[in-house]
Amino acid sequence: MSKKKGLSLEEKRTRMMEIFFESKDVFQLKDIEKIAPKSKGIAPMTVKEVLQSLVDDNMVDCERVGTSNYYWAFPSKALHARKHKLEELQKQVSDAKQRKVSLEEAAEKAKVGREDTKERSCLLKELQSLRDEQKQLQAELEKYRECDPEVIQEITIMLESLENKPRIGQRWIRQVRPQRKLEGK
């Protein structure tokens, strides 16, 4: 005995679209819920979910008339949607090609004056050595940062403020104690 394998969501969507394309008719949800399991083998519990996904993707049209929702999809709409998508993709390709050409031209313009010559390679080596030297000097400067007058001044200001904090705290305590006595605590 072999177990029946369920359909994937994409297979269900395809089969649901076949219902619309073959009949070329307008349906209510209850009609589709009856037709889909019998003719296309879509599980009855998933019909509404599959139909809603098709509506969300604009593959099936839905319109509310009175209290009922009507669903339809015609092959011409699918063809029109595919043509529109194809045109959009072709436009993106042409834009990408134009951008590629302009970037290649910009790269060629940037190469002018950057030919690999002895003088340029010497200058690049010198630039690199100057950058290395700058890093070393920056590291050495960082070592002596604690002797910097500005840093020393900031530290002294911070220390002075820390020395004043106990006095400030004692002042607060002196103000709070009389208030506690008044409250009766």
Q: What is the pLDDT of residues 149-172, one digit of tens each?
A: 787 788 788 777 777 677 777 776
CA distance 143 to 166: 33
Specify the pLDDT at position 59: 85
64 sits in which H/E element: strand 61-65
Q: Around 40, how many Cα atoms within 13 Å sit in the side-chain half-sphere?
A: 25
Per DSSP, what are the bridge partners of residue 65?
68
Whole-model pTM: value is 0.45
Cα dist from 78 to 58, 89, 164, whole Å: 9, 16, 80
Tell me: the pLDDT tens digits for 15-65? 988 888 888 889 998 998 998 888 888 888 888 999 999 899 888 888 888
Residue predicted with more confidence, 39 or 7: 39
The amino acid occupying position 122 is C
Cα 102 off chain centre by? 28
CA distance 102 to 104: 5
Helix 47-56 × helix 9-23 angle, to 10° = 80
Q: In what order do the strands lie in the sheet with 27-28?
A: 27-28, 68-72, 61-65
